Amino acid sequence: MSTTTVPPPVLDLLARITGDEKHDPSAHSTLDVLWVLYDQVLDVAPDRLDDPRRDRFLLSKGHGPASTYAVLAAKGFIPPAWLDDVGSWESRLGHHPDRVLVPGIEIGSGSLGHGLPITVGLALGLRITHEPGPAGPAGRGGEADRDPRVVVLVGDGELDEGSNAEAIATAARFGLGNLTCVVVDNASNQLGWPGGISSRFAVEGWAATDVDGRDHEALRTALLQTEPDRPTVVVARTTDEFRGVDQSDTAETDPASKGAAA
Amino acid sequence: MTRTPMRERFYAELDPVLDEDPRVAVVLAVIGAAALADTSARHPDRVIDVGIREQSMIGVAGGLALAGMRPIVHTYAPFLVERAYEQIKLDLGHQDVGALLVSTGASYDASTAGRTHQAPADVALMSALPGWTVHAPGHSDELARLVRRESSASRRAYVRMSTLQNATAYPIDGNLHLVRGGAHTMPLVVAVGPILDTVLDATKDLPVRVAYTSTPHPLDVHGLRTLAGPAPTVAMVEPYLEGTSAASVAAALVDRPSRVVHVGVPRGTELRRYGSPKDHAAAHGLDAAGIRARLKEMV
């Protein structure tokens, strides 16, 4: 049933993208969150890609899509064979994902700071278009009467973009209980966030939780928790995973992935 | 004669549009919110004011469109088009979703406000992105019809409102309409949107034909080729950045010898003056005398 680590077959899928020798740290920092979301939290499936009632996952931090691709392949959204030539002329999978090309990718992303504002509009739109019903705790299986959930993943470095500050305020003011923002904190932001990342959301009225980004049970609990009239932020710290040395910047500031630095 | 200002007409159209189509949502960044207070009270879910946050305004519109809604986004042209240009490119275009963007404050309408409130490059910028249709209505009736039509569509459309209006409304079918005919060998002057009446005044005793369109992008290439003839002399008069339609005109006439003059807001220098829109039109050579001088060179 629920796992405590990402299953080896999923790691094998990831290795088909990144190569066997080492996992790309940027992609790896999001893998646990993504696996828990798709395995235990989100109410979405490959045969429901056009179902307006499905939950949505938006990868705002589009420069680390390998773990998303691997999880989508593991869950049957895309053929595993697609993982073998990411970035080629024939491939639908690029170093930044394109929703038009990839089943299960909800937004094209890469330039930072776009996912959270889009998520605010999507959560608003789903609240407007969804048949109203009594609010309840969101959970796996999609209770028939709850608004579809929208979960967006941003990086801590990505929060440098001021567009996120706009969206943090509006999401709270609009009372978007169907919106969850996961901040994968691999300590890659350039100038720091005094007071901590979650406090920036909390002061605007979000329900805020800090969790170990490697702890599946903690992630599951935090990601299933929503409140009816305010958005939720889950700050998932992943820095400890790199043997105490944060290597995550190396991939994210690599010129090859520039345009999406941090 | 009195014509309802386009902006007033636009606000009046939104209430019935919201009534008729549950997909429609209006997204604002404060500008327009006061005028739409009653509309907002009647449609509290679907008049969304994000505050002074233009990046979010477009991002929210993109998200609404992803949820299957039809966003109508409105503010001053520089804040709508220039401030959040990457959001327009990515949150709408790259996501392959539609929206209707409606700006107020065309070119130098906000003459007393200064450069911060002026965006004469708006049509050029919107035309540079894939999949956009750009309308520059010349009459509030055209504006109202465009808003109705584009509200019920799903494509990406930009409508730029202006305080300047023509006496007569023309069809909004995207075609060139011959307003003043003549021998097909006479030069053809194409006036876009609210500059038409000024062009008619400027050319009243010149041997030219005058055609009109409210849709500069995509330009009615077939109509231009038909009206232009085999060896045309053409003038494009656009009340925004000079040469905005140059590539479209060149492509339309690529198979024939042609002389083409582009008249519009000059690119070279920033006009650091206030005054009235009429003052600005004169300074830019976009009043009747200035346009006439340019066109006389041509004939």
| CATH code 3.40.50.970 for A8-257 | yes
Please tell me if residue B51 touches chain A, with a CB cutoff of 8 Å: yes
Arithmetic mean of pLDDT, B267-288 = 97
Give the span between the Cα atoms of B225 and A40, in whole angstroms. Answer: 61
B131 touches chain A (CB under 8 A): no
Q: Quick check: B61 and A121 CB within 8 A?
A: yes
Q: Do the chains contact at A100 and B86, CB–CB below 8 Å?
A: no
Q: How does DSSP assign chain A, residue by residue?
A: ---SS--HHHHHHHHHHH-SS---HHHHHHHHHHHHIIIII----GGGTT-TTS-EEEE--TT--HHHHHHHHHTTSS-GGGGGGTTSTT-S--SS--TTTSTT--S---STT-HHHHHHHHHHHHHHHSPP-------TT--TTSPPPEEEEEETTGGGSHHHHHHHHHHHHTT-TTEEEEEEE-S--SS--TT-HHHHHHTTT-EEEEEETT-HHHHHHHHH--BTTB-EEEEEE-GGGGTTS--HHHHHT-GGGTTS--
Peptide bond into B218 cis (omega under 30): yes
As for the ipTM of the complex, it is 0.96
pLDDT digits (tens, 9 = 90+) for B200-214: 999 999 999 999 999
Residue A254 confidence (pLDDT): 38
**pLDDT reported for residue A245:** 40
Interface of B with A in 65-124 (CB under 8 A): 65-69, 71, 86-87, 90-91, 94-96
- What pLDDT does residue A18 have? 83
Tell me, what's the pLDDT at A23? 53
Q: What is the pLDDT of residue A64?
A: 84
Strand order in the sheet with B259-265: B177-180, B209-213, B188-192, B233-241, B259-265
CA distance A56 to A78: 16
The pair of three-digit structure tokens given for residue B246, joined into one six-digit string: 């140059």
Position A24 scores a pLDDT of 53
Chain A residues with CB-CB distance to B25 below 8 A: 124-125, 128
Write the single-letter amino acid at A215.
Answer: D
Interchain contact, B59 vs A120, CB within 8 Å: yes
A179's CB contacts (< 8 A; 6+ apart) are A119, A120, A123, A149, A150, A151, A152, A171, A231, A232
Buried b vs exposed e over A224-261: b needs ≥16 C-beta within 10 Å? bebeeebbbbbbbbbbebeeeebbbbebbbeeebeebb
User: Letter for the amino acid at A1?
Assistant: M
- Residues near A241 by Cβ (< 8 Å), separated by ≥ 6? A28, A29, A213, A214
Q: Is residue B16 predicted with pLDDT exceeding 80?
A: yes
Report how many Cβ contacts below 8 Å link chain A to chain B.
101
User: Are the beta carbons of B67 and A99 separated by less than 8 Å?
Assistant: no
Tell me what the mean pLDDT of segment B86-110 comes to.
Answer: 98
Question: Across the strands, what pairs with A208?
Answer: A233
> What residues in B contact A124, CB-CB < 8 Å?
25, 48, 60, 63-64, 67
Cβ separation of A166 and B55 shorter than 8 Å?
Answer: yes
Cα A129 from Cα A162, distance rounded (Å): 29
* Residues A196, A193: Cα–Cα separation, whole Å: 5
| Contact (CB, 8 A) for B178 and B171 | no
Output the CATH code of domain B177-298: 3.40.50.920
CA dist., res. A102 & res. A99, Å (int): 5
Q: Is B60 on the interface with A (CB under 8 A)?
A: yes
pLDDT 10s digit of each residue in chain A, 262 long?
456 899 999 999 999 998 755 555 555 789 999 999 999 999 999 999 999 999 999 999 998 899 999 999 999 999 999 999 999 999 999 999 999 999 999 999 999 999 999 999 999 999 999 865 444 444 444 455 789 999 999 999 999 999 999 999 999 999 999 999 999 999 888 898 999 999 999 999 999 999 999 999 999 999 999 999 999 999 999 975 433 443 343 344 333 443 333 3
Distance CA(A46)–CA(A71), nearest Å, equals 12
Closest-CA distance of chain B to residue A254, Å: 23
Q: Using a CB-CB distance cutoff of 8 angstroms, which residues of chain A are in contact with residue B91?
A: 114, 117-118
Domain layout of chain B by residue ranges: 6-160, 177-298
Q: Give A174 to chain B, closest Cα distance, Å.
A: 9
CB contact under 8 A, B96 and A100: yes
Per CB-CB distance under 8 Å, the chain A contacts of B56 are 117, 120, 163, 166-167, 170
Whether chain A has a CB inside 8 Å of the CB on B64: the answer is yes
Q: Tell me whether the CATH fold assigned to B6-160 matches the one assigned to B177-298.
A: yes
Q: Which of 2.40.33.10, 3.30.230.10, 3.40.50.720, 3.40.50.970 would CATH assign to domain B6-160?
A: 3.40.50.970
Supply the pLDDT for residue A142.
Answer: 46
pLDDT at B55 over 70: yes
Report the residue from A52, A106, A118 with minimal CB separation from B91: A118
Whole-number Å distance between alpha carbons of B241 and B172: 22
Give the Cβ contact number of residue A47 at 10 Å: 9
Distance CA A101, CA A156 (A): 27
Q: So what's the pLDDT on residue A20?
A: 58
Residues of chain A with C-beta less than 8 angstroms from the C-beta of B88: none
Question: Is pLDDT of B155 > 90?
Answer: yes
The answer to whether B270 contacts chain A (CB < 8 Å) is no
Quick one: closest CA in B to A110, which residue? B90
Distance separating alpha carbons of residues A226 and A235, to the nearest angstrom:
14
Of B51, B56, B68, the CB nearest to A125: B68
> What pLDDT score does B143 carry?
98
B90–A121 C-beta distance less than 8 A: no
Average pLDDT, chain B: 97
A168 to chain B: nearest residue by CA?
Answer: B56
pLDDT of residue A141: 44
Nearest Cα of chain B lies from the Cα of A204 at a distance, in angstroms, of 15
CA A30 vs. chain centroid, Å, equals 7
